[in-house]
Structure 1
Amino acid sequence: MKALALGLALAASLALPFAPASAETVKVGVTPGPHAQILEKVKELAAPKGLDVKVIEFSDYVVPNAALAAGDLEINSFQHQPYLDNQIRDRGYKIVPVGLTVNFPIGVYSKKYKSFDEIPAGASIGIPNDPTNGGRVLLLLADKGFIKLKDGVGVKASVIDVVENPKKLKFVEIDAAQLPRSLPDLAAAGINTNFAKEAGLDPVKDPILREDPKGPYVNIIAVRAEDKDKPWVKTFVETYHSPEVKAFILDTFKGSVLPSW
């Protein structure tokens, strides 16, 4: 009986995933929605490799970089490179990218109109009030021919760079997380995919305009510059870039979120 019990215990232990005796804890800042969902998958896969990933959600785009710079996080995964570049210019953060993650093609949504052509002159269009995502919506509108921007502004485009506006659209700058809530009061709004999904919008079917997924807005994994060569960073990035995570993204988000590594 003792031999049988020992054999059963051994079989049970072999059936469990290997968990290192002492795991290294890394706190990762994300925004709610797809970033958080993906990180839960990364957390599951990282545990047998000795990483105890703590997923911490933030409801805006400003705090995750401040928390990372202050040492309250080890990693964040929520932003694209143009946004990080702008934050570094404004705040002097010593934060660096260490890997690519996903792309969320931004969309313009409307509760009132089925196409952007239907939007009347003088209508109010909501755009995110952070410089890079607001500029991203303006670039989308320029690409579709609804406005013209000053030559050479690129990803730094802002409302003051609009040089032609045939419909005399009024651009209303609103916190990105609040745009879905403000949508009924606007003719249309450019909304980031994570906030659109949280509000029950379908980022593939619902936008009346949608960004080309090939562009500069691929999201990144970021750490403090002093940590970039640490072994846990390499383990985290390799886990994120695993075939299992890629399959999870494709199966879960059905094209609204695209793996970009």
Structure 2
Amino acid sequence: MKSVRSILAAAALALSTFTGAHAGEKLTVGATAIPHAEILEFVKPIVAKQGVDLDIRVFTDYIQPNAQLVSGELDANYYQYRPFLNDYNRERGTQLVPIVPVHIEPFVAYSTKITSVDQLADGATVAIPNDPVNGGRGLLLLQQLGLIKVSGKAVLTAPDDKLPTIKDVTENPKNLKIVELESAILPRALSEVDLAALNGNYVFEAKLDLSKSLLIDRGQDGFNVWSEYLVTRPENKDDKAIGILAKALNSDETRQFIADHYKGQIIAAF
């Protein structure tokens, strides 16, 4: 007759095999606060039932989550779309890989001084993000508003498409002064500029009224360019714990949470 100890050991082994991860396996994931960390908090108890202890590290900038993933301080991150990831890999010679898309959030033109683009004075100051990808998207937003024209594609159809820089502005009839600021501080700079291009996550964190935006680009271009991804290092892409997290982020439960909690301000990308 088998001993109680051997029976319990066999049961534990079977449970480990079933869940696909060792009990209490820790997975450290970096994210910006809203909505990324909130969505991770939602799936935390889901993955815990499958043996993954999710440690969520919240960041206020767009550089450290990738830098700490490369250095090994993080196992994954969730805060960026693929054009940003591609640019990071290209500029730094890294090979971080996207795993699954999770959500799409808006990119907006916002002002606390005007309620219509027609009110924007000649020589007004307009702020865009200071990184190449979000800054380029900001310039495309200004083009959508009819304020400037830039060379190249007006709409990206693939994550590798080139985004414009300030040097690519070909027409600026209002002689706008375009300044580049860190994305995280743009909401706080609204009182000092006439118009700003803001990432959705910082709009939500600053509790700005999205309905007062002069233009909302919801990123639903049909090409999945602006979906926010779970990202990891290449050696971890087939890790069981990463797979468990990816499945939870792309679950029906998470889709419903995004729909109920954000009420259409962001949408599921899966």
Amino acid at match of 2:92: R
Q: Aligned partners of 2:230, 2:169: CA distance in 1, in Å? A: 32
Correspondence for 1:167 among 174, 189, 200: 174
Q: Report if the CA contact (8 A) 1:136-1:155 is conserved.
A: no
Amino acid at match of 2:199: N
1:161-210 Cα distance to aligned partner (Å, 9 max, x none):
1001111111110000000110001101111111111111033x121111
TM-aligned CA deviation for residue 122 of structure 1 = 0.7
Unaligned runs of 5+ in 1: 1-17
Identity %: 38
Relative distance call for 1:115 and 1:239 in structure 2 (3 A) is same
Q: Aligned partners of 1:27, 1:224: CA distance in 2, in Å? A: 13
Q: Report if the CA contact (8 A) 1:116-1:209 is conserved.
A: no
Q: Aligned partners of 1:151, 1:61: CA distance in 2, in Å? A: 25
TM-aligned CA deviation for residue 135 of structure 1 = 0.7
Task: Tell me the residue number matched to 2:95.
Answer: 94
Q: How does 1:1-261 map to 2 (within 5 A)?
A: 22-152=23-153, 155-203=162-210, 205-215=211-221, 216-261=225-270
TM-score, normalised relative to structure 2: 0.86
TM-aligned CA deviation for residue 155 of structure 1 = 4.5
Q: Aligned partners of 1:64, 1:108: CA distance in 2, in Å? A: 26
Q: Aligned partners of 1:260, 1:234: CA distance in 2, in Å? A: 17
For 1:185, what is the secondary structure of its paired residue?
coil
1:24-81 Cα distance to aligned partner (Å, 9 max, x none):
1100000112111111001121110111111100110000001001110111000000
Between stretches 96-105 and 206-215, larger displacement belongs to: 206-215
Q: Aligned partners of 1:75, 1:48: CA distance in 2, in Å? A: 20
Relative distance call for 1:212 and 1:199 in structure 2 (3 A) is closer
1:113-153 Cα distance to aligned partner (Å, 9 max, x none):
00122111110001110110111111122133221111348
TM-aligned CA deviation for residue 212 of structure 1 = 4.0
Relative distance call for 1:155 and 1:258 in structure 2 (3 A) is farther
Q: Aligned partners of 1:91, 1:257: CA distance in 2, in Å? A: 30
Q: Aligned partners of 2:262, 2:149: CA distance in 1, in Å? A: 33
Q: Aligned partners of 1:143, 1:182: CA distance in 2, in Å? A: 22
Q: Aligned partners of 1:130, 1:59: CA distance in 2, in Å? A: 15
Where does structure 1 differ by over 3 angstroms across 4 or more consecutive aligned residues? 152-155
TM-aligned CA deviation for residue 254 of structure 1 = 1.3
Q: Aligned partners of 1:212, 1:147: CA distance in 2, in Å? A: 20
For 2:212, what is the secondary structure of its paired residue?
coil
Amino acid at match of 1:90: E
Relative distance call for 1:52 and 1:113 in structure 2 (3 A) is same
Q: Aligned partners of 2:61, 2:197: CA distance in 1, in Å? A: 16
Equivalenced residues, count? 242
Unaligned runs of 5+ in 2: 1-18, 155-160
